[in-house]
Amino acid sequence: MTRSAQWTPVPVPAGTDPHTVPSHWFNLVPSLPAPVPAPVEPEDTGDQDAWGPRIALQQRIRLDAVRAQDSASEPFLAIPERVREELAAIGRPTPLLRARALERYLETPARIYLKREDVLPTGSFKLNSAVAQAYFAAEQGVDTLVTETGAGQWGHAVAWAARRFGLKAVIYWAGVSARQKPGRKALIEMLGGEVYSSPSDRTPVGKALLRDGRHLLGSLGTAIGEAICHAAQHPDTRYISGSNLPHVLIQQTVIGQETKAQLAALGERPDTLVACVGGGSNLGGFMGPYLAEKAERGEELLLLGAESASAPRLTEGTLRYDHADPEGITPLTKSYTLGRDYELPETHVGGLRQHSGSPIIGVLRGEGLLDAVAYQEADAFETGRLVLSTEGMLIAPESCHALRAAVQRAVQARESGREEVIVACVSGNGVLDLDGYLAHR
Amino acid sequence: MTRSAQWTPVPVPAGTDPHTVPSHWFNLVPSLPAPVPAPVEPEDTGDQDAWGPRIALQQRIRLDAVRAQDSASEPFLAIPERVREELAAIGRPTPLLRARALERYLETPARIYLKREDVLPTGSFKLNSAVAQAYFAAEQGVDTLVTETGAGQWGHAVAWAARRFGLKAVIYWAGVSARQKPGRKALIEMLGGEVYSSPSDRTPVGKALLRDGRHLLGSLGTAIGEAICHAAQHPDTRYISGSNLPHVLIQQTVIGQETKAQLAALGERPDTLVACVGGGSNLGGFMGPYLAEKAERGEELLLLGAESASAPRLTEGTLRYDHADPEGITPLTKSYTLGRDYELPETHVGGLRQHSGSPIIGVLRGEGLLDAVAYQEADAFETGRLVLSTEGMLIAPESCHALRAAVQRAVQARESGREEVIVACVSGNGVLDLDGYLAHR
C-alpha cells in the first residue's frame, strides 16, 4: 500500500518513551532572590502539649527522600528512571495548545498558549508529584500513605499513584468538597483509597473541631491536621503533602521545563505566565524554571498568580509565620496567610480554598517577582464556559481563575495592540466539577 | 543552567503539528474480500408512503462530501489540511500504552497494548469523524447538523465539532441513555447543542412510537428515525451519522494507521486486534488498515469484535437486509441484525445498544474475517474496575467489552505460554459513566 510522504508518523509511540520527559527536577530554592524562611516551633505550645515538637513530628512522619529534597542545594535533582517511565506512561510531556479559537473570539493580537495538565489520567497536575512520592514510599518500604485533599484532585492522584506502586492510601478530604463531588469520591474508592470527610470523628483534631463547632465545612487546613494526627498514630504510615512545600513544587517543575522546551520549538518567548494559586504547586512548578529568565528580564516577563476571592491570601493576606492547620499541629511556616482562624466560605473552588500557602510563593511575592489577582467564583466559571465554547475544553474551577487572568491580559493586549505571548497553566479538567458549573449557569 | 543530555525534549510541541497525523484516510471498501451490498428501497412501502423513496431522501439530507466518500474507489482519500490541523489539536496521534500493570496482574506472557482514544477532549473516538463531518458541512455552507446518539458520545462529539466550525447542532438521544447521563447532557448543552430525548414528540416518527407504546426506552434506531425526520423538514440542515456507514469507518482509520506506525516503531506485530462493536466505526477504523495483513496472515492475525449480550447481533443475529430504525424510514441495508422490532433492554452500554449495524462489518463477519464474542454488562464493568485498579484508567462501558476480550485472550496466553501481542482499542473514557460503574459495584 502506498503512503503519502506528507505523513511523518510519530517516531516513538506517545506515552512510552521516558526520554521525552525531563531528566531532572528543577530546584527552585537556589534560584530565589532570598532564602526560604525555615519552619519554626510555636512558642506558645513548644514541646509541652500533646503533639510535642512539631518539627520533630514532621521529620518522623515524612518520607526520607522528600525531606532530602526540601533541603537540597543543587539546582537540578535527577528524576529516578522508574519515575520518568511513569511520567511518560501518564502522558507526559503534556500538550502545549495554541488557543486560536479563544484568541479569535477575543479579537486579540495576543498569542495564548495553554499547558494542558488537564489531560493527565486523574484529571490534574497533582499526579506529577503523587507518582514521585509514591515511588519514594515504595522504595522506603512504607505500607500506607496518608494525606489531605481540598478539591479532591490530590487525593485522587494519591489513590492512583498508591495503587500503581502497591501502597494503601488514606485520604482526609475537606468536608464541603467531599460532599460536592460524589463522583470523584466513588472513583477514589474504586482505586482502593480510604476517604474520610474532614472534620471527622476519627482523629483528636477532627473531634476537637466538631466539639467546638469550628471549621465545620472543613478545609485543606482541617484535613492537614487530621492527616498528620493519623500518621502520628500509625507507625507503618507516612504523611505526604500535595502542595505548599519545596519538594512538591520541585516535583512539579516537569511542567515548566516542558513548557520552555515546547515554546522554544515554536520560536516563542513568553511575556506573561499565569497560573492559579492555592498551595502554589502548579504555579511553582510551571514558573520555577523561568526564575533565571525573570531575574534577567525583570518586568518584561510577568509572573501572575490568580487566586480565589474567597481565600485572597496574596492580595489581602499578610506575609508572616502561621500554622497550615487551624489546630496548630503543623510547625509555623512563613507565607501569605489570612490567619488560621479564618473560616473559609463554601465554594466550588476547593483547590484554592486555604488560609495560608507556600513559603516559596511567599518569597516570590514578597520579593516582588509575582503579581497576583483574585476572582469571584461566578466570574471564574464564566471564563470556564468561554473556554469550553471556544476551545472545547471543560477546565477545573481552579484553572478557570488562571484562564480569567489570561483572558484579561489578552483583552488589554487588544486595546494596546500588543502581540503579547501569554502562557497559562491549565491545572486540571472539570468533568468531575460539572455541578459547580451548573450551579453558576 | 545545565541540562542532562538524557533529556530529549519533544522536538515539536505535542498537539500542534498536523504532520504527525495521517495524511490520508484509508478506504476499507476496496480491501474487502466481497463488495459492500448497496442499500435498497423497501418493497412494501416503495415510494408510496409519507417518506417517499428512502435512498433519494438520504441523498437529499446528507453532506455532499460524505456521499462521495461512500462511493469512493481509491484506497486512500486525502485528509484536508484543516482537518489534519484539528485532529492534531484534539491530541492526535493518541498514545499507544503498554498495559504492563494489567499484564503483571494477569501473570500473562502476552503483551497488551491499548490505543487510547479515551484521551480525546470529548472522551471518545467519535470526535475523529465529527471533526471531519463538521468541516465538510462548513465547506458546503450548511447551517445546522442534526444527528442521533446512543450513549451520548457521538452527540457530544458533534456538539463539540459543530461549535468549532461555527455550526448549530441538534441531537436526538436514545431516551434511556439521556436520562442516565445528566452530566453529559449538561456538557452538550453548554457547548450549544440542542438535545431531545428519543422517542420525542417533536417528529412524526417519535409521535408514532409514543402513540403505539413501542420502543419507549428509546434506542439508537428511534433516534436515527427522528433525526432523519428532522432533517427532511429543515432544508438548511444536514443529517450526519456517527457509525454504520462507510464514510464514518473511513474517517476513523486514523486510529488504525497510527496504531500500525506506533507498533512498528516498537518492533511489534499484533497477533490479536480487539475492539467493541456497536455500529462498527471504532472497530472498522482500528482494524481497517490491517485488512491487507489479515488477507496475508489469515488465522495468524485474529480480528475480534466484542459486543453487548443485550444486543448480540454478530453472535446471534442474522446477515440480511433490514432498516436501521424501527419505523423503517432508512433504506434497507445488509448487516447483522436482530430485527427492527427487537426491543432493546435498558443497559448502561448505550454505544452498543442497537438492533443492526454496519454493512462493512457485515462483510467482514460474513466472509469469516471477524470473530465475535458477547458479554453481559456486569462482567464488562468488572473488567472496567480491573483496568482502573491496574492501569488507573476509567474506561467507557463500551470499551470494557473490548478489554474483557483482551483479558480473556491474555489469560489463555498464560495457559498456553504464548507471547501473544494483543492490541485493544479503548474507544472512550468512563468519567461521565460513573453511575453505570456504581450500579454494578
Among A225, A244, A263, identify where a domain stops.
A244
Please report whether residue B8 resides in a domain: no
Which tens digit of pLDDT belongs to each residue from B294-332?
A: 999 999 999 999 999 999 999 999 999 999 999 999 999
Same-domain check for residues B54 and B153:
yes
- DSSP per residue, B280-321: SHHHHHHHGGGHHHHHHHGGGSEEEEEEETTS-HHHH-EEEE
Please report whether residue A113 resides in a domain: yes
Interface contact A159, partner B, CB < 8 A: no
Q: Is the pLDDT reported for residue B211 higher than 60?
A: yes
Helices (H), A288-396: 291-297, 313-316, 359-366, 377-391
Same-domain check for residues B377 and B296:
yes
Please report whether residue B62 resides in a domain: yes
Chain B neighbors of A4, CB-CB under 8 A? 23-24, 76, 78
Q: Is the pLDDT reported for residue A396 higher than 80?
A: yes
Residue from A154, A174, A170, A178 nearest A215 by CA: A174
Q: Residue A10 is nearest to which of B2, B261, B292, comparing CB atoms?
A: B261
Query: 10 Å Cβ neighbour count for B391?
Result: 25
Chain B neighbors of A2, CB-CB under 8 A? 75-76
d(CA A176, CA A195): 13
Number of alpha carbons in the 13 Å side-chain half-sphere of residue B386: 20
Residue from B160, B394, B355, B154 nearest B251 by CA: B154
d(CA B207, CA B213): 10
Q: Is the separation of the CB atoms in B358 and B244 below 8 Å?
A: yes
Q: Give pLDDT, residue B427.
A: 98
Interface contact A317, partner B, CB < 8 A: no
Residues, chain B, total?
441
Contact A98 B16 (CB under 8 A): yes
What's the burial of B53, exposed, middle or buried (CB within 10 Å: 0-12/13-18/19+)?
middle
Give A234's pLDDT tier (boundaries 50, 70, 90). very high
Q: Is the pLDDT reported for residue B201 higher than 90?
A: yes
Interface test with A, best of B84, B434, B435, B440 (most A CBs within 10 A): B434
What's the burial of B194, exposed, middle or buried (CB within 10 Å: 0-12/13-18/19+)?
middle
Contact B266 A16 (CB under 8 A): yes
Using DSSP, state whether A428 is helix, strand or coil. strand
d(CA A372, CA A308): 11
Same-domain check for residues A139 and A34:
yes
Q: Residue B266 is nearest to which of A2, A13, A21, comparing CB atoms?
A: A13
Please report whether residue A1 resides in a domain: no
Chain A neighbors of B292, CB-CB under 8 A? 1
Q: Give pLDDT, residue A243.
A: 95
Average pLDDT over chain A, rounded to an integer: 93
Q: How far is A403 from chain B (nearest CA, A)?
A: 18
Please report whether residue B259 resides in a domain: yes
Q: Is the separation of the CB atoms in A69 and A77 below 8 Å?
A: yes
CA angle B318, B129, B358 (to 5 degrees): 10
Give A5's pLDDT tier (boundaries 50, 70, 90). very low
Which residue of chain A is at minimal alpha-carbon distance from B23? A7
Residue A268 corresponds to which amino acid?
E
Which tens digit of pLDDT belongs to each residue from A246-280?
A: 999 999 999 999 999 999 999 999 999 999 999 99
CA angle B37, B38, B44 (to 5 degrees): 110
Same-domain check for residues A70 and A213:
yes
* Nine-digit cell string for B394: 476509567
Q: Is the pLDDT reported for residue B1 higher than 50?
A: no
Contact A164 B89 (CB under 8 A): no
* Nine-digit cell string for A302: 510577568
Q: Is the pLDDT reported for residue B193 higher than 70?
A: yes
Chain A neighbors of B96, CB-CB under 8 A? 13-16
Q: Is the separation of the CB atoms in B207 and B230 below 8 Å?
A: no
Interface contact B2, partner A, CB < 8 A: yes
Q: Is the pLDDT reported for residue A111 higher than 80?
A: yes
The residues with which A38 forms a beta bridge, in sequence order, are none
DSSP state of A352: G
d(CA B256, CA B266): 15
Which tens digit of pLDDT belongs to each residue from B52-89?
A: 899 999 999 999 999 999 999 999 999 999 999 999 98
Pairing of strands A421-426, A272-276: parallel
Interface contact A73, partner B, CB < 8 A: no
Please report whether residue A424 resides in a domain: yes
Residue A188 corresponds to which amino acid?
I
Q: Residue B392 is nearest to which of A121, A183, A434, comparing CB atoms?
A: A121
Q: Which of these ranges, A115-124, A317-326, B1-10, B40-49, has the smallest mean pLDDT? A: B1-10
Contact B187 A116 (CB under 8 A): no
CA angle B269, B275, B278 (to 5 degrees): 155
Q: Give pLDDT, residue A394.
A: 95
d(CA B206, CA A111): 47
Give A420's pLDDT tier (boundaries 50, 70, 90). very high
Residue from A439, A301, A424, A426 nearest A364 by CA: A301
Q: Is the separation of the CB atoms in A367 and A34 below 8 Å?
A: yes
Query: 10 Å Cβ neighbour count for A268?
Result: 16
Which tens digit of pLDDT belongs to each residue from A295-339?
A: 999 999 999 999 999 999 999 999 999 999 999 999 999 999 999
Q: How far is B305 from chain A (nearest CA, A)?
A: 24
Which residue of chain B is at minimal alpha-carbon distance from A157? B392
Q: Is the separation of the CB atoms in B148 and B223 below 8 Å?
A: yes
d(CA A85, CA A90): 9
Same-domain check for residues B41 and B144:
yes
Residue with cell 490567619: A339
Q: Is the separation of the CB atoms in B13 and A265 below 8 Å?
A: yes
Same-domain check for residues B311 and B429:
yes
Q: Give pLDDT, residue B19.
A: 84
Helices (H), B196-289: 204-212, 220-233, 246-251, 253-265, 281-287
Q: Give pLDDT, residue B224.
A: 95
Among A244, A278, A299, identify where a domain stops.
A244
Contact A431 B434 (CB under 8 A): no
Average pLDDT over chain B, rounded to an integer: 93
Pairing of strands B272-276, B421-426: parallel
CATH number at residue B414: 3.40.50.1100
Q: Is the pLDDT reported for residue B126 higher than 90?
A: yes
Residue B394 corresponds to which amino acid?
L
- As a whole number, mean pLDDT of residues B137-164 equals 96
- As a whole number, mean pLDDT of residues B7-36 equals 84
Whether the link from the prior residue into A93 is cis, omega within 30° of 0, is: yes
Q: Give pLDDT, residue A18.
A: 80
Same-domain check for residues A101 and A72:
no
Which residue of chain B is at minimal alpha-carbon distance from A388? B191
Chain B neighbors of A21, CB-CB under 8 A? 7
d(CA A80, CA A93): 16
d(CA B393, CA A121): 6
d(CA B121, CA B117): 10
Q: Work out how many domains chain B is built from and give that number.
A: 2
Using DSSP, state whether B105 is helix, strand or coil. helix
Q: Is the separation of the CB atoms in B328 and B415 below 8 Å?
A: no
Among B192, B217, B244, identify where a domain stops.
B244
Q: Residue A432 is nearest to which of B123, B264, B431, comparing CB atoms?
A: B431
- As a whole number, mean pLDDT of residues A232-247 equals 96
- As a whole number, mean pLDDT of residues B93-112 equals 94
Contact A14 B164 (CB under 8 A): no
Same-domain check for residues B394 and B352:
yes
Which residue of chain B is at minimal alpha-carbon distance from A432? B431
Contact B6 A20 (CB under 8 A): no
The share of chain A scoring above pLDDT 70, in percent, equals: 95
Same-domain check for residues A158 and A287:
no
Give B4's pLDDT tier (boundaries 50, 70, 90). very low
Sign of CA pseudo-dihedral B119, B120, B122, B127: negative
Interface contact B126, partner A, CB < 8 A: no
Beta strands in A58-98 (DSSP E): 76-78, 96-98
Q: Give pLDDT, residue A318.
A: 97
Contact B163 A4 (CB under 8 A): no
Cα dihedral value B25, B31, B34, B40, nearest 10: 10
Same-domain check for residues A141 and A106:
no
Q: How far is B93 from chain A (nearest CA, A)?
A: 8
Q: Enumerate residues 6+ apart whose C-beta is below 8 A from B292.
A: A1, B31
Report the predicted TM-score, pTM, of the whole model to 2 decimal places: 0.92
Residue with cell 516535583: A251
Which tens digit of pLDDT belongs to each residue from A20-78?
A: 899 999 999 999 999 999 999 998 654 457 778 999 999 999 999 999 999 999 999 99
Q: Is the pLDDT reported for residue B384 higher than 90?
A: yes
Q: Give pLDDT, residue B15.
A: 62
- In chain A, residues 10-49 whose CB comes closer than 8 Å to chain B: 10-16, 19-24
- In chain B, residues 185-244 whose CB comes closer than 8 Å to chain A: 186-187, 190-192
Chain B neighbors of A388, CB-CB under 8 A? 187, 190-191
Q: How far is A314 from chain B (nearest CA, A)?
A: 30
Q: Give pLDDT, residue A2.
A: 44
Give B45's pLDDT tier (boundaries 50, 70, 90). low
Q: Is the pLDDT reported for residue B245 higher than 50?
A: yes
Residue from A115, A431, A382 nearest A275 by CA: A115
Q: Is the separation of the CB atoms in B125 and B157 below 8 Å?
A: no
Q: Is the pLDDT reported for residue B47 higher than 60?
A: no
Residue with cell 501473544: B420
Give A216's pLDDT tier (boundaries 50, 70, 90). very high
- As a whole number, mean pLDDT of residues B23-38 equals 96
Q: Give pLDDT, residue B39.
A: 95
Q: Enumerate residues 6+ apart whose C-beta is below 8 A from A92.
A: A20, A21, A120, A128, A254, A258
- DSSP per residue, B156-177: HHHHHHHHHTT-EEEEEEEHHH
Which residue of chain B is at minimal alpha-carbon distance from A121? B393
Contact B91 A119 (CB under 8 A): yes
Q: Is the pLDDT reported for residue A4 higher than 50?
A: no
Please report whether residue A139 resides in a domain: yes
* Nine-digit cell string for B114: 491499548
d(CA A118, CA A425): 9
Higher pLDDT, A8 or B219: B219
Q: Is the separation of the CB atoms in A347 and A376 below 8 Å?
A: no
The residues with which B184 forms a beta bridge, in sequence order, are none
Please report whether residue A3 resides in a domain: no
Same-domain check for residues A133 and A110:
no
Interface contact A162, partner B, CB < 8 A: no
Residue with cell 489520567: A121
Contact B265 A11 (CB under 8 A): yes
Using DSSP, state whether A25 is helix, strand or coil. strand
Q: Give pLDDT, residue B6.
A: 58
* Nine-digit cell string for B152: 451520548
- DSSP per residue, B414-441: HHHT---EEEEEE-BB-GGGHHHHHHT-
Q: Residue B187 is nearest to which of A78, A90, A394, comparing CB atoms?
A: A394
Q: Residue B10 is nearest to which of A91, A93, A163, comparing CB atoms?
A: A93
The range of the structural domain enclosing residue B175 comes to 24-77+126-244
Same-domain check for residues B212 and B272:
no
Buried b (16+ CB within 10 A) or exposed e, B138-156: beeebebbbbbbbbbbbbb
Q: Give pLDDT, residue B289.
A: 97
Contact A437 B91 (CB under 8 A): no
